[in-house]
Amino acid sequence: MSYPILRLVAQRILLGIVLLFAVSVLIFAGTQILPGDVAQAILGQSATPEALANLREQLGLNDPAWLRYVHWLWGILHGDFGTAQSSGLDIATSISTRLKNTLFLAACAAIVAVPLAIILGLIAVRYRNGFVDKLISGLALASTSFPEFFIGYVLIFVFAVHWQIFPSISTVDDSTPFLERLQAVVLPATALTLVVLAHMMRMTRAAILNVMQSAYIETAELKGLKPFDIIRKHAFPNAIAPVVNVVMLNLAYLIVGVVVVEVIFVYPGMGQYLVDHVAKRDVPVVQAVGLIFAAVYITLNIVADIAAIVANPRLRHPK
């Protein structure tokens, strides 16, 4: 790997670390300026002043904000996310199970969405400006126009209420067998797939069409190669960088943007965990989940940038 590539990769990684630090400051500051009293929310309106004062001291609420941030960040760097104020459970232990559930759901959606989006993009380019291209683009545009909650409720009505094929509530735990877990996530995974499929397909189509304007594509056409072979063997490999970029961005959305889908299907993932504790004003949980979502999103964006850098032939083979 050449020096320019290593330098650019190091810059992206350093930028990601700085950005994650800035996001942690924003998350902590945002939770601190929320109106109301955390101790009052935990103990209720009937709590005595002495009990409130003791709880504030126990939670460190009397310390300066910068000191609380340093303690919080130091604990996270050592794998300690603190304790949930509403339940007293260790946040890291609770998140580990929830995160596995969310990653499983996102993986099921990605396994279907990514290959399907690329295949549909290739077909749309092969029949560009024709009926098939317009049909695929139209259906993709229609699917991306509907919000997740609408798609989720339609799937529940059709497949859970009307046909009764899949469950409307995706309840799973560590003891759930793999096949039952797959059946439970079919509807939420389908909702996520429909949300991200259109964007990936349209970007794949646009990236390949951009490459199709190149001179070597015209040379391949003059040699009499089949249109689909030209797209598959010559255009697509040279359009892989923007395609990988958009795939990574949508994978980040699959993990970070599952909140609405998990709430609709009562799926025990990170999104449902966040919503439950927002309602309870459980600040440590909100901070921990927000930071994990930010870390996942930033990491996948860095991976997308690195893939685009490595795939750039002008950087791999500098003059």
Amino acid at position 71, single letter: H
Q: What is the pLDDT of residue 294?
A: 92
Amino acid at position 83, single letter: T
pLDDT, average across residues 75-94: 85
60 and 124 both lie in a single domain: no
Looking at 77, 107, 125, which one is the last position of a domain?
Answer: 77
DSSP E strand boundaries for the chain: none
9 and 137 both lie in a single domain: no
- Say which range, 60-64, 121-125, 147-151, 281-285, has the weakest mean pLDDT: 60-64
Q: Does 120 fall in a domain?
A: yes
Comparing 132 with 313, which gets the higher pLDDT?
132
**For residues 219 and 269, is the Cβ–Cβ distance under 8 A?**
no
Q: What is the pLDDT of residue 312?
A: 64
83 three-state secondary structure? strand
Q: Is the pLDDT of residue 96 over 70?
A: yes
122 and 218 both lie in a single domain: yes
Q: What is the pLDDT of residue 198?
A: 86
Looking at 23, 48, 77, which one is the last position of a domain?
Answer: 77
Q: Does 255 fall in a domain?
A: yes
43 and 152 both lie in a single domain: no
Amino acid at position 78, single letter: H
Question: Residue 296: enclosing H or E segment and its boundaries?
Answer: helix 283-310
Q: What distance in Å separates the CA atoms of residue 83 and residue 69, rounded to the nearest whole number?
A: 15
**Dihedral angle computed from the Cα positions of residues 118, 124, 126 and 127, in that order, rounded to the nearest 10 degrees:** 160
- Say which range, 195-199, 270-274, 305-309, has the weakest mean pLDDT: 305-309
Amino acid at position 160, single letter: A
Report which of 257, 256, 276 is spatially closest to residue 266, judged by C-alpha positions.
Answer: 276
58 and 106 both lie in a single domain: no
Q: What is the pLDDT of residue 316?
A: 59
Q: What is the pLDDT of residue 279?
A: 77
Q: What distance in Å separates the CA atoms of residue 179 and residue 29, rounded to the nearest whole number?
A: 43
174 and 52 both lie in a single domain: no
Q: What distance in Å separates the CA atoms of residue 114 and residue 247, rounded to the nearest whole number?
A: 7
Q: What is the pLDDT of residue 148?
A: 87
- Which of the given ranges, 40-44, 85-89, 240-244, 247-251, has the highest pLDDT on average? 247-251
Instruction: Report residue 318's pLDDT band, with 50, 70 and 90 as the boundaries.
Output: low
Q: What distance in Å separates the CA atoms of residue 218 and residue 211, rounded to the nearest whole number?
A: 11
Q: Tokens standing for 11? A: 């810059």
Q: What is the pLDDT of residue 98?
A: 92
Q: Which long-range contacts (CB under 8 A, 24 or more apart) does 18-22 make?
A: 19/298, 20/294, 20/295, 20/298
Condensed to tens digits (0 to 9), the pLDDT of residues 34-43 reads 766 667 666 7
Instruction: Report residue 315's pLDDT band, with 50, 70 and 90 as the boundaries.
Output: low
pLDDT, average across residues 133-157: 88
Condensed to tens digits (0 to 9), the pLDDT of residues 186-241 reads 999 999 998 888 889 988 898 888 888 888 888 888 888 888 888 888 888 878 87
191 and 150 both lie in a single domain: yes
Q: Does 86 fall in a domain?
A: no
Report which of 13, 16, 19, 23 is spatially closest to residue 290, judged by C-alpha positions.
Answer: 23
Q: Does 27 fall in a domain?
A: yes
Q: What percent of the chain has pLDDT over 90?
A: 33
Spell out a b/e string for 50-85, using b for 16 or more CB atoms within 10 Å of the CB, else e.
eebeebbeebebeeeeeebbeebeebbeeeebbbbb
Q: What is the pLDDT of residue 31?
A: 82
20 and 107 both lie in a single domain: no
DSSP class of residue 37 equals: -
51 and 184 both lie in a single domain: no
Instruction: Report residue 79's pLDDT band, with 50, 70 and 90 as the boundaries.
Output: confident
Q: Is the pLDDT of residue 319 over 70?
A: no
Any bridge partners for residue 90, and if so which?
A: 83
Q: What is the pLDDT of residue 255?
A: 84
Q: Tokens standing for 149? A: 């909650």
Q: Does 101 fall in a domain?
A: yes
120 and 243 both lie in a single domain: yes
Q: Is the pLDDT of residue 1 over 60?
A: no
Looking at 77, 112, 143, which one is the last position of a domain?
Answer: 77
Any bridge partners for residue 83, and if so which?
A: 90
42 and 153 both lie in a single domain: no
Q: Does 53 fall in a domain?
A: yes
> pTM score, two decimals?
0.85
15 and 158 both lie in a single domain: no
214 three-state secondary structure? coil
Structural domain count, the chain: 2
Q: Give the domain extent around 180.
A: 97-316
Residue 275 maps to which CATH number? 1.10.3720.10
